[in-house]
Every structure is written in C-alpha cells, then in structure tokens.
A and B are shown apart, each in its own frame.
Chain A
Amino acid sequence: MVEVSDRPALSVDGLIVKFGARTAVNGVGFQVAAGEIVGLLGPNGAGKTTTLSVIEGLRKPLAGSVTIDGIDALEHPVAVKARLGVQLQSSGFQPELNIAQILKLYAGVYGVQLSRQDALDALDSTGLEQEARKRFKDLSGGQQQRFSLLIADIHRPLLLLLDEPTSGLDPQSRRSLWTRIEASRKRGGSVVLTTHSMEEAQAVCDRIVIIDHGEVVTTGSPAELIARHRDDPRVLELAHGEPTLEDVFIALTGSDIRD
C-alpha cells in the first residue's frame, strides 16, 4: 500500500547515458512529487525510453543519480524495484502460460499472496476474467495493455512507470487506462508516462517534461507551458487559433520527422 510522504517519489539528477560515441541522455534531471502524474514527452530517439530504462534499473548510467522514495536506485536496485510498477513499451510474458498464471507469477515476485479467486477478481476488475485461460499473445491490443497495467499495479506501487501505455488503443481502452492511472494517483501513487499524444498529456498529466536530443528542454504544467510559450513566434506560426501543447512541443523540438 502506498504511504504518502513529503520527499519526492522520484528524483533524477544529471543522468548521462552513452551508446558508443553517441550520447543518448545528456544531463537529464527532474523530480516527481508524491501523487503527481508527469508526462515525459519528446520526439522519437529523444532519450525518453533510455531515461526510463535507467530509472527501471535496466541500464546503468555513465553519470548521474536516481532516487526513489529517498533510496538510491543505483545502490539498492531490488529495494527500489519493489516500489516501482513498470509497464514496458512491449511487454514480454512467458508464451506457454495463460494470463491467470502470469498474474500469479508476478504477484509472487512482488510478494503479493493471490488466491485463485483473488486472481480472477483482479482480472475481472480489468474486464479480463473471461480471458483468464488465454495466453497473452491471444489477447487484443487493448486487453494486452490493460493486463500489462494490471501487472504493473498489482503491488500498489509508489511510482508507476508507463512507456507509451495508450499506444495503438481505441478511445474506450484509452479512457479505461486513464481511469486506472487516476485511481493509482488517488491512492497517493505517482506516475511517469511517456506518450506521443499531446492531447493525452494535456488531459492526464499534472506536469510535462519535454526532452530532446537527450536533454530536458522545458518543464511545467501543460497550462504553464502554453502560457510561457504562447508569444513565441514559432508557436504563433504553428497555432491555428488558441495555441495547444502540441504547438508548443513542435515549436520547441522542431518539425523534422525523427525515426
């Protein structure tokens, strides 16, 4: 269960990650307060997923620090991972197991005791009870995302890290995911999510961190970012009427297509 504390849920400072000669993340730093939903935005290859992978403990940075609930994530990775709920961009689960078995596996790994009925109830809460005997690959895209979020949230983590959680979802599934994210916040949990949907970021996030070329370009609430940049000539050129977060985002990161 989440305990609300004064210290930041997440503090990232001076993160540097290199792949060979290429610097993927160059001094990224930001904080996430308890109960806050933060959107990590950036074009493809900006360094969002690499930053998340360091926070998740999948990659060691060349320099910098990650502190979760006051605990050094690089020094105490297992203790920190117990406080994290992670939804990866593409979740890989054992292809031989059905989703009820996968749920029991991850509950066990996170130290949560689940009876068979508990597992079915949990699946029912995401509309997946009828699919309990199905394998993950046999679920629809929306069901897969809902199931991945259920796994990420099974231990009521302090901090949820969601990498493009609504990618490829229909509006109903997207709304359902937002509801679950909001429920996590209501419990006092914090959320960091990456998304390419500016509409989603504007609707869901308390604060936005825009990253480009491995560096933090700007940060603030969606309303603050729009207000701060509304007179920027690049924004004025892009906006059709009232400037939107997307106008600000494109003005700050450029309109070149990234792969």
Chain B
Amino acid sequence: MTDSTSAVSSASGSARAKAAAVGPALRALLSADAQVLLRSRQTLVLNLLVPLIFLVVTARAGGQAAGASAPLGGATFEIGLALTYGLIASAMMGYSITVARDREAGVFQRLRVAPVPTWAIMLSRLLVQFGAAIVSSIIVIVIGSIIHQVAFSVGTYLLMLVVALFGAAMFLGIGQAIVGLIRSTAAVNAIGRVVYIVLILLGILGASGVLGDAVQNISAWTPVGALITLFAGVQQLSAWGWAQSGALLACAGYLVVFAGVGIRWFQWEAR
C-alpha cells in the first residue's frame, strides 16, 4: 500500500471513528451547556417570574370580573399566554444573547478548532434550551392550573408540553435568526428586547381587543397569537377548528423561515 492510499484509508477509517466519537463529544458539550444554564440561575428565575406574575394577576382580575368576562378570554387563554411569555424569554432572548456573547468571547472559535462538527455545537445548545423549556413549562402549567382552578387531564398536560416544545422551537428559530443576522452582541441584546416587548404588547393588547378588531386579527397570526391559540386549542380539543389548524401551520411556517434564515446566514465569528 502506498503512503497516500494508506493515508486515505486511514483518513476514512478515522472519519468513521470520529463519527462514532461525536457521541462522547456531544455528551461533554451537553454537560457543559447544562452547567452554563444552571449557573445562570438569576436568568432562569426571571424567565419564570414574568409568566408566574402574569398568571397571578390574570387570576385575580378574572376573580374580580365575572367568569365569562375574564380579561383575556379565560383561563385556557391566559395559561397559554403565560407559557408563551416564558418561552419567548428563555428560547428567544436567552438563547440569542448567550450565543452572541459566546461568539464575541471566542467560545465558538475555540470549539471549532476541536474535533466536533459545528452542528453538534449548536445541537447541544438547542437540546439544553429545550430541556429548560420543558421544565419551565411544566412549572407554569401546574401553577397556572392551580391558580386558575382548572383541572387538566394527563393527555392535556402532555399535549400542552408538546405545544410548549413546538413553541420553544419556533422562538429558538426567531432567536437564531436574530443572532444569525446580527453580529454585535449589544445589537442582538437591544433588538431581542424590542422584539420581546412588541410581542408581549401584541399578545396582551392585541388579544384583549382594546386596539380594535384589525389589531386583534393581526395579533392572532403573530408568533405569540398563533401559539396562544394552539395552547388554548389543546386545552379544549373539542373546540379545535380551522383557527387552531391555521395557527399550527403559522407556527410551523415561522419555525421553518426563521430557523432557515438563522442557520443559513449564521456567522461563527463576531468580526
């Protein structure tokens, strides 16, 4: 065997070995990313605080109002809105800011010179974010059902978790688009906050109808509106209709478009 052929066979053999070795590397990345997330306890608490405060406020307001005239269309809608806020905060803002900061600090640069594919670096972060989304969603669903005195079946709980994962994927996609298109950490931070506020306002004001029917209709098709519709839909499956199916398609569309843009144009280097 010549030197070059032995080199090629050694390379392909090594490539196979490396493919098999992605598992341990991914485990190491997952462990490190999970540790990073747990070290950011303050952020985790804040991400949970907004939906929990929202649940308390809407429960109190709903209690003062008559049952049918609940402020935002009832408990199912309000629990959905609270879940959505939690997902926006962690999946969209938390993810995009962390990625932008690590990119600027050279963390990705260092990882990219190691024998680990770039998809594994991103997958690890996304899986950890999904894990965080599941945990925070469970907390919000359980506390929401207690505060709003709603009893869900096990099936409904599971469906809400599936929708929460779907929503997390959509907001991670939006976060990926923000951090993919914008290199500066400060700009990612600022734009993430603006998008967060706009989405929250559209969710509350749009859904309440105080800004008129037109805004209410537009609000229903925003990422927030579509996801709340889905959350409300799985809580009352008997009422599932075109609006819920449309919301499902809209969320899938947002996920594909934003994640596609964010992955296609993602810059691994800050400069």
Does A104 make an interface contact (CB < 8 A)?
Answer: yes
Asked whether, in the complex, the Cβ of B106 is within 8 Å of the Cβ of A78, the reply is no
Closest approach, in angstroms, between the C-beta of B34 and any C-beta of chain A? 11
Asked whether, in the complex, the Cβ of A97 is within 8 Å of the Cβ of B113, the reply is no
Closest approach, in angstroms, between the C-beta of A101 and any C-beta of chain B? 6
**In the complex, A78 Cα to B20 Cα: how many Å?**
12
Asked whether, in the complex, the Cβ of A108 is within 8 Å of the Cβ of B106, the reply is no
With A70-B3, A96-B36 as given contacts, are A106 and B114 in contact (CB-CB < 8 Å)? yes
Asked whether, in the complex, the Cβ of B11 is within 8 Å of the Cβ of A93, the reply is no
With A70-B10, A71-B14, A90-B106 as given contacts, are A81 and B115 in contact (CB-CB < 8 Å)? yes
Number of chain B residues close to chain A: CB under 8 A: 37
Considering the complex, which residues of chain A in the window 57-95 have a beta carbon less than 8 Å from any beta carbon of chain B? 57-58, 67, 69-72, 75-76, 78-79, 81-82, 84, 86, 88, 90-95
Does B153 make an interface contact (CB < 8 A)?
Answer: no
**Of B21-29, B130-138, B214-222, the one touching chain A:** B21-29
Asked whether, in the complex, the Cβ of A110 is within 8 Å of the Cβ of B110, the reply is no
Does A247 make an interface contact (CB < 8 A)?
Answer: no
Which residues of A are found within 8 Å of B35, using beta-carbon distances?
Answer: 96-97, 101
Closest approach, in angstroms, between the C-beta of A71 and any C-beta of chain B? 4
**In the complex, A93 Cα to B35 Cα: how many Å?**
13
**In the complex, A48 Cα to B85 Cα: how many Å?**
48
Interface string of B7-33 (1 = CB under 8 A from A): 100111011011001001101110110
Does A105 make an interface contact (CB < 8 A)?
Answer: yes
Interface residues on A, range: 35 or more
**In the complex, A72 Cα to B9 Cα: how many Å?**
12
Asked whether, in the complex, the Cβ of A111 is within 8 Å of the Cβ of B25, the reply is yes
Asked whether, in the complex, the Cβ of B109 is within 8 Å of the Cβ of A78, the reply is no
Asked whether, in the complex, the Cβ of B109 is within 8 Å of the Cβ of A92, the reply is yes
Which residues of A are found within 8 Å of B108, using beta-carbon distances?
Answer: 92
Asked whether, in the complex, the Cβ of B106 is within 8 Å of the Cβ of A76, the reply is no
Which residues of B are found within 8 Å of A78, using beta-carbon distances?
Answer: 15, 18, 115-117
Asked whether, in the complex, the Cβ of B15 is within 8 Å of the Cβ of A58, the reply is no
Which residues of A are found within 8 Å of B113, using beta-carbon distances?
Answer: 56-58, 81, 84, 86, 88
Which residues of A are found within 8 Å of B12, using beta-carbon distances?
Answer: 76
**In the complex, A108 Cα to B124 Cα: how many Å?**
14
Most buried by B among A56, A93, A102, A109: A109
**In the complex, A180 Cα to B167 Cα: how many Å?**
50
Does A107 make an interface contact (CB < 8 A)?
Answer: yes
Closest approach, in angstroms, between the C-beta of A191 and any C-beta of chain B? 15
**In the complex, A96 Cα to B4 Cα: how many Å?**
44
Contact among B3, B7, B107 for A93, CB-based, below 8 A = B107
Contact among B6, B28, B29, B106 for A70, CB-based, below 8 A = B6
Main secondary structure of the interface of A (DSSP, over half): loop
With A57-B112, A92-B110 as given contacts, are A104 and B28 in contact (CB-CB < 8 Å)? yes
Closest to A92 in B: B106
Does B111 make an interface contact (CB < 8 A)?
Answer: yes
Closest to B20 in A: A111
Asked whether, in the complex, the Cβ of B10 is within 8 Å of the Cβ of A71, the reply is yes
Closest to B5 in A: A70
Does A133 make an interface contact (CB < 8 A)?
Answer: no
Closest approach, in angstroms, between the C-beta of B119 and any C-beta of chain A? 11
Interface string of A32-47 (1 = CB under 8 A from B): 0000000000000000
Asked whether, in the complex, the Cβ of B24 is within 8 Å of the Cβ of A108, the reply is yes
Asked whether, in the complex, the Cβ of A109 is within 8 Å of the Cβ of B25, the reply is yes
Closest to B104 in A: A92
Does A7 make an interface contact (CB < 8 A)?
Answer: yes
**In the complex, A97 Cα to B40 Cα: how many Å?**
11
Does B158 make an interface contact (CB < 8 A)?
Answer: no
Asked whether, in the complex, the Cβ of B18 is within 8 Å of the Cβ of A82, the reply is yes
Asked whether, in the complex, the Cβ of B11 is within 8 Å of the Cβ of A72, the reply is yes
Which residues of A are found within 8 Å of B112, using beta-carbon distances?
Answer: 57-58
18 further interface pairs, Cβ-Cβ under 8 Å (given A58-B113, A109-B116, A111-B24): A7-B3, A57-B112, A67-B7, A70-B3, A78-B115, A79-B17, A81-B114, A81-B115, A86-B113, A86-B114, A91-B110, A92-B108, A96-B40, A97-B36, A101-B32, A104-B31, A105-B32, A110-B115
Interface residues of A (CB under 8 A from B): 7, 56-58, 67, 69-72, 75-76, 78-79, 81-82, 84, 86, 88, 90-97, 101-102, 104-111
A-B contact pairs, 12 of them (CB 8 A): A70-B3, A70-B4, A71-B7, A71-B14, A79-B11, A81-B114, A91-B110, A92-B105, A93-B107, A105-B31, A108-B24, A109-B29
Interface residues of B (CB under 8 A from A): 3-4, 6-7, 10-12, 14-15, 17-18, 21, 24-25, 27-29, 31-32, 35-36, 39-40, 102, 105-117
